[in-house]
């Protein structure tokens, strides 16, 4: 498993049956503080994550197939959790709740 940040979505109108109706997200593996550590990957979302979320990713085929309930699904990378906060060495290095409070407000212009 690894921590990742969701950086995008994938839309694929033609796909295998095991992925039918499932959301695919682009995830970038990160260190606990959010520093990127590896290349992006495509993951099956099982927890309703979205762009900007810090997530927990399972990157192991058998476990992914078990989560999806399909022993023959050609799946390796699955998002299995949305991270609320990360505490590393006694320090809070990521807090989704603070991030949500600090998000810039989008003002709509005159109509």
What pLDDT shows up at residue 106?
A: 46
What pLDDT shows up at residue 44?
A: 96
DSSP code at position 30? B
Report d(CA 22, CA 101) in Å as an integer.
Answer: 30
- Name, in order, each residue with C-beta under 8 angstroms of 36's C-beta and a sequence gap of 6 or more: 5, 28, 29, 30
Note whether 8 and 28 are within 8 A (CB).
no
Give the 3-state secondary structure of residue 17.
helix
pTM: 0.83
Note whether 46 and 21 are within 8 A (CB).
no
DSSP code at position 81? E
Q: What is the pLDDT of residues 54-102, one digit of tens each?
A: 999 999 988 988 998 888 888 999 999 999 999 999 999 999 887 655 5
């Amino acid at each position: 498993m690894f921590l990742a940040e969701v950086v995008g979505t994938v839309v694929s109108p033609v796909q295998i049956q095991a992925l039918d109706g499932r959301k695919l997200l682009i995830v970038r593996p990160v260190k606990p503080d959010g520093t990127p550590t590896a290349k992006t990957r495509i993951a099956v979302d099982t927890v309703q994550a979205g762009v900007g979320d810090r997530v927990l990713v399972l990157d192991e085929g058998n476990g992914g197939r078990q989560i999806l309930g399909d022993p023959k699904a050609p799946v390796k990378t699955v998002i299995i959790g949305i991270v609320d906060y990360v505490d590393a060495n006694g320090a809070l290095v990521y807090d989704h709740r603070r991030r949500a409070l600090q998000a810039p407000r989008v003002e709509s212009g005159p109509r």
